[in-house]
Amino acid sequence: MALRNIAIIAHVDHGKTTLVDQLFRQSGTFRANQRVDERAMDREDQERERGITILAKCTSVMWGETRLNIVDTPGHADFGGEVERILSMVDGVLLLVDAAEGPMPQTKFVTQKALAIGLRPIVCINKVDKPDADPDAALDQVFDLFAALEADEDQLDFPVLYGSGREGWMADAPDAGDGSLAPLFDKIVEHVPAPRPQRENKLDEPFTMLPTLQERDQFLGRILTGRIESGRVRMGETIKILSLNGVKAGEARITKLFHYEGLARVPVNEAGAGDIIALAGLETATVSDTLCAPEVEQPLEALPIDPPTLSMTFRVNDSPLAGREGDKLTGRLLRDRLFRQAETDVAIHVAETPERDAYQVAGRGELQLAVLIETLRREGFELSVSRPRTVNKKDPETGEIREPIEDVQVDVDEEHQGTVVEKLSQRKAELVEVKPSGGGKVRLVFSAPSRGLIGYHSEFLTDTRGTGIMHRRYSGYTPYKGPIPGRRNGVLISMENGKAVAYALWNLEDRGVIMVEPGSEVYEGMIIGEHSRPNDLEVNPIKSKKLTNIRAAGKDENVQLTPPRVLSLEDALAYIDDDELLEVTPKSIRLRKRFLKAHERKKESRKAEADVL
């Protein structure tokens, strides 16, 4: 049977997963009367809620006598570790570009990885039915992008298709669609080469495979997915596991062998070089190991993964309200879960810290870490996390501190251009390019340190009245750019334990913005609002109105509160300062000071001042 392995890559919301839905329908994977959810490949709850692909997933469809193994990849740079591993097991990429927006920063991120390892792309200009679509301009931008990424002549001679993934058609011209994806299927079969192991006749060599995806099944245990680089593998065989440095890490017997058909894993008895398969029964192997026949001595080379750029400290929840909502409360459970996450996601690094029951977790960005925290709280964990910090490096030759820097692309209305430039300049960003982007909007391109962007997104939406669009992409490391101003306002800190009272909150509204509702549980050291001035202020949110036997006009006016500011998980992570923590439980998100007692905070403040002097 002929095989083709291809990955679909694109920026967030350019239509990857929707296009895969249509590939399923038109290849006959689904019955005509079968009920299937939209975005069938986004199976995780958070993927459906956020509308993004978080985990790369494999699928397979038949087109004539050819089986197409398709990988749906994340479009967000925070989950780039998934993309980098996936590219090592495909032989071509389908680059999807929005006809109105053109290539975006994260398109560049993934495409750069694909071109660097020699993959030849097929370009699909998607969403040509949008009112503001400009397919020709989008194609010109794609060509310019490839040239800037130093694509070779074969890669620059890419085939182009136009269409609409939602409507289910692709064609050689924007106005030539006939309601079918047949031109896309034919182009994949024609343009994408057969798997490299098959082209190099490696079927008769010893079995080798480099896993690129890892997941866990409650019945089968650990399941590893990857492409067979050489030889054949059969159900029940015993294979060897080699670590990255070639050291034998053990042996294991294959208990289940699968390939992909549509949304399902289908058991098979045998698979050969070039096929993408999943193996069960290998409890000690991970995505960085080589699975091979007993006689193989050299491990396969793995692609380098970009380093993490942000880190946070995850702690066991030690607040006065700990243990009321979650059922996973101990440091041992948190440690095991974090290291298990690091096994399956190579973009996340976990390390022990000198503090008890506290672990350093480093990742690609705020969104990736927020998704991990949300996953933990849904599993029943209670924890507290620190403010995100950038992972800096020291130059071994000069001793100079270097920090991660990002390319930032902003589309804003012209009236908000000055405000955005001013705010980002204060955060040490450098303006690289300004150009019109149509519809009265201006496209601004900045080079900004990652630490300057922490917490900026919500402020950006406020400054642009919700009309601005911002995209970020990790670029590299640059010399440290100096101090950046932090949060301008202090916070209101509860000085008592109990339930917040409407009368007390009403009296505190003049002091700042309230973040809790009447009846909410509060405790000493918990942050209940934002102060209107730069300093922190301790307040009593449980103080009730004193009752007397005197009745007078105006004494019993109704308390009318302004609705509190409710922070989402991502907003709360960006809001907290270095001396604050975010308490996360299955039902609640609370802001608190790291040291709950007032005298402990004063002691720590004096100690910090002494260290500076």
The annotated binding site is made up of 13-18, 126-129
- For 603, the 3-state DSSP assignment is helix
Per the rule left: phi > 0, alpha: psi between -120 and 50, beta: everything else, 243 is beta
Question: Two tokens at 183?
Answer: 């031109």
Which three-class secondary structure string do you get for 458-501?
HHHHHHCCCCCEEEEEEEEEEECCCCCCCCCCCEEEECCCEECC
Sequential DSSP letters for 222-276? EEEEEEEEESEEETT-EEEEE-TTS-EEEEEE--EEEEEETTEEEE-SEEETT-E
Angle among Cα 607, 608, 610 to the nearest 5 degrees reads 65
CB 567, CB 522: distance < 8 Å: no
How would you label 227-263 residue by residue, b for 16+ Cβ within 10 Å and e otherwise?
Answer: bbbbbbbebeeebbbbeeeeeebeebebebbbbbebe
Q: Is 136 helix (H, G, I), strand (E, B) or coil?
A: helix
* Binding-site entries for GTP: 13-18, 126-129
Are residues 293 and 346 in contact, defined by beta-carbon separation less than 8 angstroms? Answer: no
Residue 347 burial (C-beta neighbours within 10 Å; 0-12, 13-18, 19+) = buried
Burial label, 607 (beta-carbon count in 10 A; 0-12, 13-18, 19+): exposed
- Amino acid occupying residue 470: M
Alpha-carbon distance 160 to 148, whole Å? Answer: 19
Token pair, residue 422, equals 């001013």
Within the chain, what is the greatest distance between any pair of CA atoms? 98
Contacts of 467 (CB under 8 A, 6+ apart): 412, 413, 416
Q: Residue 374, SS3?
A: helix
Q: Give the sign of the dihedral formed by CA 222, CA 223, CA 225, CA 230.
A: positive
